[in-house]
Structures are given as C-alpha cells and as structure tokens.
Amino acid sequence: MSLLQDLINLNLSETTDKIIAEYIWIGGSGMDVRSKARTLTGPIKSPKDLPKWNYDGSSTGQAPGEDSEVIIYPQAIFKDPFRRGNNILVMCDTYTPAGEPIPTNKRHNAAKIFSHPEVAAEVPWYGIEQEYTLLQKDVKWPIGWPVGGFPGPQGPYYCGAGADKAFGRDIVDAHYKACLYAGINISGINGEVMPGQWEFQVGPSVGISAGDELWVARYILERITEIAGVALSFDPKPIQVCFTNLRHSSFLLNLKNTGWLCTMA
C-alpha cells in the first residue's frame, strides 16, 4: 500500500510535460457526475486550449444504443487536488456530434443568458448552499445513526463538536481544503441538524462560474467519499421517516427556464 501511494503521488513535472486532464460532465439523471481522464501536453491555462472529447451516452442514459456518441466541450478548468502538479479537472457540457446541446445540457442556455451584455453588465453574484448526508456504504443509513435505529432529538448536532455530535468531519475538512486547492470559491462549511448531515457554501461567484464551481465541488466530494468508503446523498431528505432541514441551494435570478440552474438546487 505504501508503494501504491508513492506511485499515486508521483510528480509528473519532474520527468515529462504531459498532464492528466479529468473531463467531468453531468449524467442522464441530472444529478450524477461522470468523468474520464486523458493525457495531454501541458500546462493548460484555458478551456480553449483543450480538445473536445466524446463518450458513450447510451451508458449514461443520454443517448440510444444505435446512436450513442455524445461530444463534451471543455468549459472551465480547476487544479486537480487528487493528482496535483499541473494536472487539471475540466468541467464540460454535452452535445450531439452535429453540435446541438443534448436535452440534459442545461448549461448551454444558461450561458446564453449570462453572456447577454445586459446581464454581464450587472456582474451577478451568487452564493449557493449545498446540504448533503454521509451514509454507511453497505446499508445506506446515515453515519452516526445506529443501524436500523434513530438518533436522539435534533439540537446538539447543528454546528456541533464532539464524537457523539459530529460525524464525518475528516471527510468534510478534506473536501474543504481540496476545493480551495482546486480554485473553487468555497466560503464555508457547517454541521447540519441531523447526524451525518453537513453543508458547504460556494460563492460569492460571478455568473455561470457559480454553477461550474458547485458541480466540481460536488465531484470532488464524490471522489473523497469514494476514498473514505462512505456513500453520499444530496437528497435533502434521504431518510423519509425523519425530520431534516429542507432548505437547499437556489439561485435568486429567475433562470428556471434554463434548467441548468434548477439542477443545481
């Protein structure tokens, strides 16, 4: 395991100008995050320096099997907190081979709105809250809860500290620092009202970058919980028989017709 960790942490810049770019996109459910990696010559400074790529949309619920190719367009880049060095995470959106946005690509219409001169002149700022729950992987029950049972009444858990009140803080702090490393404007974290439930905030961020930052923050959290062997839920009420805080992330600008911002809520 020590040798494996050494290989994972190899500094590629010592021997090659090649970098690893992890292309990220939103899957067919509108909430699942997919990714795959490719080798490129670096360093990369702008999404415009990156090639488009493709994937099998029939495997993500975004295309039929007989015509499954989906093209991903790089839209935003972030430093990769997992591979580090000059390696990058690339937020993409999704198109047909003919260049038409596929139905689950909500970013395309949102970008049109945000790039409109009258909107851009306003320099719209957004702050987004994202609540999530950490679950025991094999039973999908919140960490800190007895399996098949329920925790004590709410009260001590919100912004709480202590082994009997805060569960999963190592994951939360790892995510916090990884997002800052990546260049995401994550502005804070806190424990929520239910054991195993936490929240992070992204922003203030300008325009569509708020959406890109939130989605990459979600991707980073998925990767960290993967490493930790913990399941992740963005459902505001993952256990239907209990009380949870129903507040969730939302935008103030009326862009519901784009759907891109709605999928971030």
User: Under a CB-based contact definition with an 8 Å cutoff, are residues 33 and 93 in contact?
Assistant: no
Residue 265 has a pLDDT of: 34
Residue 148 has a pLDDT of: 83
Domain that holds residue 20: 3-120
For residues 105 and 206, give the distance between their C-alpha atoms in angstroms, rounded to a whole number.
Answer: 20
Q: Does one domain contain both 137 and 185?
A: yes
Q: Does one domain contain both 111 and 186?
A: no
**Is there a domain that residue 264 lies in?**
no
Q: How many domains does the chain have?
A: 2
For residues 36 and 55, give the distance between their C-alpha atoms in angstroms, rounded to a whole number.
Answer: 9
Burial of 37 (0-12, 13-18, 19+ CB in 10 A): middle
DSSP secondary structure letter of residue 77: E
For residues 10 and 2, give the distance between their C-alpha atoms in angstroms, rounded to a whole number.
Answer: 13
**Is there a domain that residue 158 lies in?**
yes
Residue 70 has a pLDDT of: 98
For residues 92 and 60, give the distance between their C-alpha atoms in angstroms, rounded to a whole number.
Answer: 15
Mean pLDDT score across all residues of the chain: 90
**Per-residue pLDDT reduced to its tens digit, 97-116:** 999 999 999 999 999 999 99
Instruction: Examine the pLDDT at 256 and tell me if it is beyond 90.
Output: no
Q: How many CA atoms lie within 13 A of 150 on its CB side?
A: 9
What number is the average pLDDT over the span 222-238? 94
Residue 1 has a pLDDT of: 74
The band of 189, judged by pLDDT with boundaries at 50, 70 and 90, is: very high
**Is there a domain that residue 85 lies in?**
yes
Residue 214 has a pLDDT of: 98
Residue 239 has a pLDDT of: 82
Q: Does one domain contain both 10 and 129?
A: no
What number is the average pLDDT over the span 63-78? 96
User: Under a CB-based contact definition with an 8 Å cutoff, are residues 91 and 216 in contact?
Assistant: yes
pTM, to two decimals: 0.89
**Per-residue pLDDT reduced to its tens digit, 27-39:** 999 999 999 999 9
Last residue of a domain, one of 66, 93, 120: 120
Q: Does one domain contain both 103 and 206?
A: no
**Is there a domain that residue 263 lies in?**
no
Backbone angles phi, psi at 155, to 5 degrees: 145, -60
Taking residue 236's Cβ as centre, other Cβ atoms within 10 Å add up to 17
Residue 238 has a pLDDT of: 86
What number is the average pLDDT over the span 241-252? 42
Residue 241 has a pLDDT of: 55
Last residue of a domain, one of 92, 120, 148: 120
Q: Considering just the CA atoms, what is the radius of gyration of the chain in Å?
A: 19
Q: Does one domain contain both 112 and 174?
A: no
Residue of 264, 260, 265, 261 lying closest to 102 (CA atoms): 260
**Is there a domain that residue 226 lies in?**
yes
For residues 28 and 68, give the distance between their C-alpha atoms in angstroms, rounded to a whole number.
Answer: 13
Q: Does one domain contain both 194 and 99?
A: no
Residue 259 has a pLDDT of: 42
